[in-house]
Amino acid sequence: MLATLTAAKYLTLSFAVFYTFAVLFGAPFFSDIIATTVLAATLTLVTALPAVLIFDSEERFLEVLLLAFSADYTKTTKESIYILTSIFAIFGAWAAAAVHPLDWDRWWQRYPLPSLAGTIVGAFVGLIISSLRSFICKPYTNKTKRRDSIGGRFGHYTFDDAPKLLGVLLAEFDNREGPIIRHSVPKGNDKVEATFAFTKSLIIPKPSMFRHSFSLTVNSLGCKVLMFPVGIDHKSYERGRFTFDMSFIVDMTSSAETMYEPIVQKCAEYLIELEMEYNFLTNPKYKTHVLEVMEKMFVDLSTRGESVIEVTLENDKIVSLYFKLCPLYRGCEPPEIDYHMVPMFIREVELTDRLVEKMDVLSQKIIPQIDGINTVREIAINLELDPSLVARCVRNLHFYECNAIAEDGSEIPMPTPEFSDVFRLYLSMKVAQNETADGVPEDYLSSIQCGKNIGDWTEEENPRAKGIDEHRLVQFGMHHQFLRKLSVYPICTVNPGNNSLLKACNGKTSLDELSLQHNVDPRKMYSILFDAQKFEFVMK
C-alpha cells in the first residue's frame, strides 16, 4: 500500500482529472456539479483506489502507468488485472454516455446514471476478462518459465510474480546520534521507520555480529528484517570505524526470506567494495546515487526478480551491480558433490565467445572438461585445481539445471527394476512405428550382471561393433536410473586397534570414499586391501 500522503495526493489528482475530462466531454460545469462530482468520485474509487492498495511504491505505480501498453514490459498478475479493469471502467463510462442526448425521455437517461452504470459494469466485465485471461494463460506462463529455465543458457529464468519487498533501509552508526536511517525506500513508508525503531539495536549491532547474516521477526508489524551488518575499520573514519547495514524488509508469512538472504549479503559486499575504493557511502556527493541504487533495486527485485544497476563514479567510471533472486520452485537444494561422482550435461551448451566472456575464470576451465566420463577428482587433476573448487562449480551448474550428477559406473554397473519399464517403452515405440525390435540394446543391458566388471563385459559383448560407446551407455543408464553402481564395501576381519583405516572398513564406508580420503586410486586401494588378507568385500 502507498504511504498515506502519497495515496491522498493521487486520489485527489485522479478526482480532478476525471472531473475535468467529464466537463471536456460535455458534462455541465455549473448546473450539475453534484452529478459530475459523483461520477468523478466513482471513477476514482474504481480506478485509483485499487492502485493505492496494490502498489507498494510510487515509482512502481508511475512505471506501470507509463508502460501499461508496452508488450515487452513485465507486469505481475495483480497489476495486469488492475490495468484491464481500469481501462474497461473508463471505456464503459464513456460508451454509456452515448444515451444522454437521445430523446427517449426515460428516467435512466438522466445524467450521470448511464455513465455510473457503465463504469460499474465496465469494471466488472474487465475484472472477469482479466481474471479469466490470467487463469488461462497461467499454465502457458509456467511452461514458458520452465522451458526458459531448462532451455536457456545457465539458468535463464523469469518470474511471473516475484515475491515483493516491503522496504529497504540503509542504516548507519552516527558518532553523535547513534544508529540512524540514512535512506529508506519506498519514500514515506511508515512501516520502514517503525521497523527500524524496533530493531535498531540489531541492525547496528556489536562488532562480534558484523558480517553475519541473520533475520528478526516483528510480529506487531507482520514483517521480517533481513540484515547483514558491516563494520569497516580505517584511520580515515572518525573513531576509526564506519558501520552500516543495508536491510531488506519482507512479509512475515512470505517465502521471500530465503530468496532475499543471498541478495542482502551480496548487496553488502558490493557496498563494502564501493566504500573502500570510492567512499561511496560516506562521501556526500554520492548521496543521491545511493538512494537511486536503493530505489531501482527495490522496484526491479519486487517486479522482475532481478536488477542490473549502473553506478557512475568519479572520472565517469561506471560500475555495474547485478542482483538476481534464486527461485524456489525447483524444490530443494542441489545435492552435495562427492569427488568420485561424474557430472554430465543434460542439455546442449554451446560455448560461444559471448557466453564464455560471462563466465568466471574457474567455469571457463571446468566446463569444457565435463564429458560424462571424468569424475570430479579427475577433472581437478587434469586442471591442477583443488577438487573442492570443481565440486562447487559442478554443484552450481546442477542448481541451474545445466547438468546431472551420477555415480561413476565405469567399474561395476548393474540393471535396476526400472530397466523393464525402459524396455517395454522401447518395444511400444517400435510397434507404434511398425518396426521390428531386432537389434535392440536389451541384449547388451541384460548381459550386465551383478559383479561383472565393465571391462570384462566390453570384451565379451564388443558394443563398439554396433557403434555403442560403453561409457556413454553406462552413464545414460545411470542418469535415467535403469542402471546403478554396485559399490564395494570392505569389512575388516581383525581387531582394528587405533588404525584409522581399519576402523573405517566397517561395511559402511565404500571403497571410493576410502580412496578419496587417502588420495589413492580405487583400483590400487582394492589391491592393497586384498593383498593384506584382513578384509572381506561386500557389494551392494
Q: pLDDT for 214-252, tens place per residue?
A: 888 888 888 888 888 899 998 888 888 899 999 898 887
- What are the pLDDT digits (tens) for 67-81? 666 655 556 777 788
Predicted confidence band of residue 462 (pLDDT cuts 50, 70, 90): confident
- What are the pLDDT digits (tens) for 29-51? 777 788 888 888 888 888 888 88
Average pLDDT, the chain: 77
- How many H helices and E strands in the chain? 20, 14
CATH topology (fold) of 341-407: Arc Repressor Mutant, subunit A (1.10.10)
**Predicted pLDDT of residue 188:** 67
CA gap 441, 466 in Å, rounded:
10
Half-sphere exposure of 359 (CA within 13 A, CB side): 21
CA gap 8, 12 in Å, rounded:
6
CA gap 28, 232 in Å, rounded:
66
Q: Residue 329 pLDDT more than 60?
A: no
**Predicted pLDDT of residue 426:** 63
Are the beta carbons of 215 and 231 closer than 8 angstroms?
Answer: no
- What are the pLDDT digits (tens) for 257-301? 667 888 888 899 899 989 988 899 998 898 889 999 999 999 888
Determine the average pLDDT of the residues in 326-343. 67
- What are the pLDDT digits (tens) for 92-114? 888 888 877 776 677 777 777 88
- The phi-psi region of residue 34 (left if phi > 0; otherwise alpha if psi is between -120 and 50; otherwise beta) is alpha
Q: Is the peptide bond before 327 cis (omega within 30 degrees of 0)?
A: no
- What are the pLDDT digits (tens) for 406-422? 666 555 666 676 766 76
- The grid coordinates listed for 186 are 519506498
Q: Residue 364 pLDDT more than 60?
A: yes
Determine the average pLDDT of the residues in 449-456. 66
Helix (H, G, I), strand (E, B) or coil at 168: strand
**Long-range contact list for 374-383, CB < 8 A, 24+ apart?**
374/342, 375/339, 375/340, 375/341, 375/342, 375/408, 376/337, 376/338, 376/339, 376/340, 376/341, 376/342, 376/343, 377/339, 377/340, 377/516, 379/343, 380/339
Q: Residue 332 pLDDT more than 70?
A: no
Distances (CA, A) of 399 to 166, 393, 404: 28, 10, 9
**Predicted pLDDT of residue 410:** 54
Are the beta carbons of 393 and 387 closer than 8 angstroms?
Answer: no
Q: Residue 390 pLDDT more than 70?
A: yes
Q: pTM here?
A: 0.42
**Predicted pLDDT of residue 378:** 85
* Least reliable range by pLDDT among 124-128, 256-260, 439-443: 439-443
What is the β-pairing status of strands 223-227 and 214-218?
antiparallel
Which residue intervals of the chain bear CATH 3.30.450?
165-324
What percentage of the chain has pLDDT greater than the value 90?
Answer: 2
Query: What architecture is domain 165-324?
Result: 2-Layer Sandwich (3.30)
CA gap 315, 41 in Å, rounded:
52
**Predicted pLDDT of residue 444:** 60
Q: Which amino acid is at 339?
A: Y
Are the beta carbons of 486 and 450 closer than 8 angstroms?
Answer: yes
- What are the pLDDT digits (tens) for 131-157? 888 777 654 444 444 333 333 333 344
